[in-house]
Amino acid sequence: MTERTFSILKPDATRRNITGKINAVIEEAGLRIVAQRRVHLTEAQAKKFYEVHAERPFYGELVAQMTAEPVVVQVLEAEGAVAKYREVMGATNPDNAAEGTIRKLFALSIGENSVHGSDSLENAGIEIAQFFTDADIVG
Ligand code: CMP
């Protein structure tokens, strides 16, 4: 089934000017970038986006990192896009990420791990709606 998933190219990627390199990996994997916008997240936006992690010890640092530099928010489309993008991203901790994955290629640490991708189709819908309207997405 054709799905849409939500992606963020994180501040460590914009800071190092490697968003194009990451997009190349995304596109080579067969994911289509059907919406994309560069945005500097406010603290309120980052806190809301990562609300599920509010009780985790790394929450404060996560919010600080996500608001330190601009990000690129994206909608990616493909057959089975949610699982496909998680495979392309690799494990959250780059030390555990498989060869050829975005995090293996580019991530600096578990916090500065270059990309975020939705963990389920349901969350993809919720996350996409935080940044894009239907009119923004051109499949
Ligand atoms: P992401 O997929 O954006 O979802 C939550 C983020 O928290 C995760 O990627 C990591 O970048 C960040 N993070 C920082 N420390 C940890 C940790 N110990 N465990 C999981 N995620 C962490």
Single pTM value for the model: 0.98
92 labeled binding residue? yes
Residue 64 domain-assigned? Answer: yes
Residue 136 domain-assigned? Answer: no
In the reported structure, the alpha carbon of residue 135 is separated from the centroid of ligand 1 by a whole-number distance in angstroms of: 30
Residue 138 domain-assigned? Answer: no
Q: Given the CA of residue 89, which atom of ligand 1 is nearest to it?
A: 2
Residue 92 belongs to domain spanning: 1-131
In the reported structure, the alpha carbon of residue 93 is separated from the centroid of ligand 1 by a whole-number distance in angstroms of: 8
Active-site residues, by number, are 116
pLDDT band at 2 (very low <50, low <70, confident <90, very high): very high
User: Is-contact 96 84, C-beta < 8 A?
Assistant: no
Protein residue closest via CA to atom 14 of ligand 1: 111
pLDDT band at 23 (very low <50, low <70, confident <90, very high): very high
| Tally of CB atoms within 10 A around 17 | 8
2 labeled binding residue? no
Residue 69 domain-assigned? Answer: yes
16 labeled binding residue? no
Protein residue closest via CA to atom 13 of ligand 1: 111
User: Is-contact 118 82, C-beta < 8 A?
Assistant: yes
Q: What is the mean pLDDT of the chain?
A: 98
Residue 8 domain-assigned? Answer: yes
CATH number for 82? 3.30.70.141
In the reported structure, the alpha carbon of residue 61 is separated from the centroid of ligand 1 by a whole-number distance in angstroms of: 10
What ipTM does the predicted assembly reach? 0.95
- The pocket around ligand 1, CB under 6 angstroms, is made up of 53, 58, 62, 92, 110-111, 113, 116
Distance CA 106, CA 85 (A): 15
pLDDT band at 4 (very low <50, low <70, confident <90, very high): very high
Number of domains, the chain: 1
Residue 109 domain-assigned? Answer: yes
User: Is-contact 130 66, C-beta < 8 A?
Assistant: no
